[in-house]
Structure 1
Amino acid sequence: MTSPGCASDPGLDDVSDRTTETERAVHGTESVAELRAFLSAYASEQLGSPIRKVRFRAGRIDAVWGVELDDGRAVVIKGHRAPTGADGIDSTDGIPAVDAIAAARDAQLVLSAAGFPCPEPLSGPDDRNGRVLTAETLIAGTVPDGRDPAVRRLLAAGLARHIDLLRARPDLLRRAGAGPSWCRYQAGPWPVPHDSIVNFDVTPAGYDWLDGYAGRASGQILTGRAGAEVVVGHADWYAGNTAVQEGVLVGTFDWELVADTEAVIAGFAAACYAASSTSGGGLSSPAEAALFLQDYEAARGAGLNARERRTASAATAWIVAFNARWEVAMPNGTSEEGPNLSLAREHGQDYLDLAW
């Protein structure tokens, strides 16, 4: 649901002539050479060394460059997309967008100090000519197949562990806020999307059922989470944002935070954990989501109670609904429904009633 930060290393210096759509949205330039010069100057100023080589360019929300510096360090530099709210303020909970980025940085510092496999922040958030930049260490690794049961267990364990580690920083609860748009069920359908390429203001004819389904999911979450402890976790926890080597989780990327109950965050992850380029992408089936939540309970060393299970199920359903709504808003030039719409239409109740 967000830009991949995984550090592939093709060994190529990617200097194609024109920037990507994401790079243009973030940096406002069509020239890769101009953007490289800008980022190299930033690296020289903040990290003490200019860019020698570009390893990769990625990102669907933020513009992500994996680079090697002249001093030999491998670094990721991110240009962060402007927030959807006015004046740098998030449109739902009034948290300045740069504060949410700083909260993610502080979470990474806590986790990396504890030996958790995430990049170590090096600089930022820094404002350069109205653009918000961050830099962090680059971790090389292979994007895993999220549908491999062993990987599923690694992901469940990694989620449980980092949520537990971040309990030591209760200040992150306020600073993280409600997270990116796909986490924002609180007001019912629909949140302001995180990318202006789609508009959720008016649901097209024939999809009123999807509004109703999302409303049921959000209502079930709100009922179940009432009075429960709020924690902080990764807002986009899925295989495509991780790296695995020899059966070990060695990297976790794109650290956007969400503050919510443990059941809700686990349900969000259950919906999308398997998605990656190696597993063919796609949201979880109800059976796959249930298996992830079962593994999550095993990793945390305690089962979720009946109320928490219903909450996690509803959070899974909400993510399916959100992604289906995104498909509705994206013109695809065909009359065929996308895969997420099909999941919501055919298995909507199954997600709300997950059993494990």
Structure 2
Amino acid sequence: MTRAEDLDPQPLLRPAPAWVHWYHKEDGVWPVPDDRDVDLNAERCSATAWLDELGAAVRERLEEVRDAACVLGHGDWDGRNVKFRDGRPLVVHDWDSVVDEPEVVIIGQAAAMFEGGPTGAGASVERTAAFLEEYQMARRGVLTSNELQLCWAAGLWVRTFNAKKFHLDTFDALGRDEAETRMRHAGI
């Protein structure tokens, strides 16, 4: 990842959009969504209690990078924002979602969401793992096992946030089995 070291993006690019904003300072687990007028923390029901617990656990896991060095990157790797040709990325759209976040957060959310769409679901666990492998090859440097766990945690934050939000639309964006697998990868 190339850094734009001469820029000071802090005032303009932080905080990140809600789906990446795990470090928010609002009461409760969830930040205010960007696309609807609802308090996800007030939306309590037995069907989503596990998502609230998972969101809290992911936030705790990511605390390690709260003060980490940040890099500029794309913050909305929804599959509709990436066009591929012959299986390789060709163009990335929606650059109004540029973020200044720790590298593992940018990588993790990208790996979890690059195949996503309007349903809030993203890449499968297998495709997320493949993305992380490809990223390391392109980066020409291996991530530590802890960095990989943090990538998985950042991706799990996006997936859990989407699942909580899309439950309001009666859509299941993250199943428990998949969440448990992602938790293991995240060291949670």
Amino acid at match of 1:349: E
Question: Which structure is larger by alpha-carbon Rg, 1 or 2?
Answer: 1
Q: Is it true that 1:178 corresponds to 2:15 in the alignment?
A: yes
- The residue that corresponds to 2:112 in the other structure is 271
Q: In the alignment, is the contact (CA less than 8 A) between 1:267 and 1:314 conserved in 2?
A: yes
Say what the alpha-carbon RMSD is for the aligned residues: 2.4
Amino acid at match of 1:312: C
Among 334, 337, 341, the alignment partner of 2:174 is 341
2:146 and 2:66 mapped to 1: Cα distance? Answer: 10
- The residue that corresponds to 2:91 in the other structure is 251
Secondary structure, aligned partner of 1:259: strand
Aligned length: 181
2:133 and 2:87 mapped to 1: Cα distance? Answer: 20
- The residue that corresponds to 2:183 in the other structure is 352
Gaps (5+ residues) in structure 1? 1-159, 333-337
Q: In the alignment, is the contact (CA less than 8 A) between 2:75 and 2:98 conserved in 1?
A: yes
Amino acid at match of 1:189: V
The structure richer in strand per residue is 1
What's the CA shift for 1:246?
5.5
Gaps (5+ residues) in structure 2? none
Matches within 5 A, 1:313-352: 313-330=152-169, 332=170, 338-342=171-175, 345-352=176-183
2:68 and 2:75 mapped to 1: Cα distance? Answer: 18
2:88 and 2:128 mapped to 1: Cα distance? Answer: 22
2:86 and 2:173 mapped to 1: Cα distance? Answer: 32
Q: In the alignment, is the contact (CA less than 8 A) between 2:120 and 2:159 conserved in 1?
A: no
Question: Cα gap change, 1:169/1:176 in structure 2, threshold over 3 Å: closer, same or farther?
Answer: farther
What's the CA shift for 1:347?
2.1
Summarize deviations over 1:65-87 as a string: whole Å, max 9, x none. Answer: xxxxxxxxxxxxxxxxxxxxxxx
2:103 and 2:172 mapped to 1: Cα distance? Answer: 28
Summarize deviations over 1:279-303 as a string: whole Å, max 9, x none. Answer: x983122222111111111111101
Q: TM-score, normalised by structure 1?
A: 0.46
Q: In the alignment, is the contact (CA less than 8 A) between 1:275 and 1:282 conserved in 2?
A: yes
What's the CA shift for 1:195?
1.8
Q: Is it true that 1:191 corresponds to 2:28 in the alignment?
A: no
Amino acid at match of 2:42: V
1:328 and 1:245 mapped to 2: Cα distance? Answer: 33
Percentage identity across aligned positions?
A: 28
Q: TM-score, normalised by structure 2?
A: 0.84
The structure richer in helix per residue is 2
2:88 and 2:185 mapped to 1: Cα distance? Answer: 29
2:123 and 2:15 mapped to 1: Cα distance? Answer: 23
Question: Cα gap change, 1:351/1:246 in structure 2, threshold over 3 Å: closer, same or farther?
Answer: closer
